[in-house]
Structure 1
């Protein structure tokens, strides 16, 4: 078993706690579903927001999901690069798995598909 990273990103229309919570939950749930992740195998999760989002901590949304109480979560702000995708939430899940890097499915939802079109499913 190795520690691997699974990436994902999504966007919201507005800087509201409701939208940040809903988008974060949708993203985490989709990554978990596609990769058949057991929460007990998750070592930690890093969540970032672009500088234009500050209404809520996305970690609070993850913490509200069943089984995530003891998973270490950390929120941070993305670098404010001019011209970068606005209103974005990104995640990096570190998990213990027997899957190879090429077997993991990274998830990009909403406008975030443009961040990694090579990994996005249509």
Structure 2
């Protein structure tokens, strides 16, 4: 078994608590669905946000999901590069898995799909 990193990102329209929490859940659920793992398989989750998202901690959403109460979570600010994508939430999920690196599926939703055009279906 190896530890693999699974990336994902999503954008929101406005800096509001419900929108940030809902988007975070949608992103994590998407990552779980395509990679088929359970919270028990997770080592940790790193969550970053752009500086324009300060209404809440996105990790709050994950903490409220059934089975995710014990998963270590950390929020941080994304590097504020001029001209970079705004209102973006990013996840780095560290998972214990037998999957190979090439089997891991990263998930980019909404406006964040521009970050990884190579992953578009």
TM over 0.5: yes
In the alignment, what sits opposite 1:21?
21
- Could you tell me whether the CA contact under 8 Å between 1:21 and 1:58 is conserved in 2? yes
2-structure distance, mates of 1:119, 1:48:
20
User: 1:119, CA displacement in angstroms?
Assistant: 1.7
Note if 1:5 corresponds to 2:13: no
In the alignment, what sits opposite 1:35?
35
TM-score (norm 2): 0.98
User: 1:120, CA displacement in angstroms?
Assistant: 3.0
In the alignment, what sits opposite 1:110?
110
After TM superposition, list the pairs within 5 Å mapping 1:61-100 onto structure 2: 61-100=61-100
1-structure distance, mates of 2:95, 2:119:
19
User: Structure 1 stretches of 5 or more lacking a match?
Assistant: none
Runs of 4 or more above 2 Å deviation: none
2-structure distance, mates of 1:117, 1:90:
16
TM-score (norm 1): 0.98
2-structure distance, mates of 1:117, 1:8:
13
Q: Report which stretch shifted further, 111-120 or 86-95.
A: 111-120
User: 1:25, CA displacement in angstroms?
Assistant: 0.2
Q: Tell me the C-alpha RMSD between the 2 structures.
A: 0.6
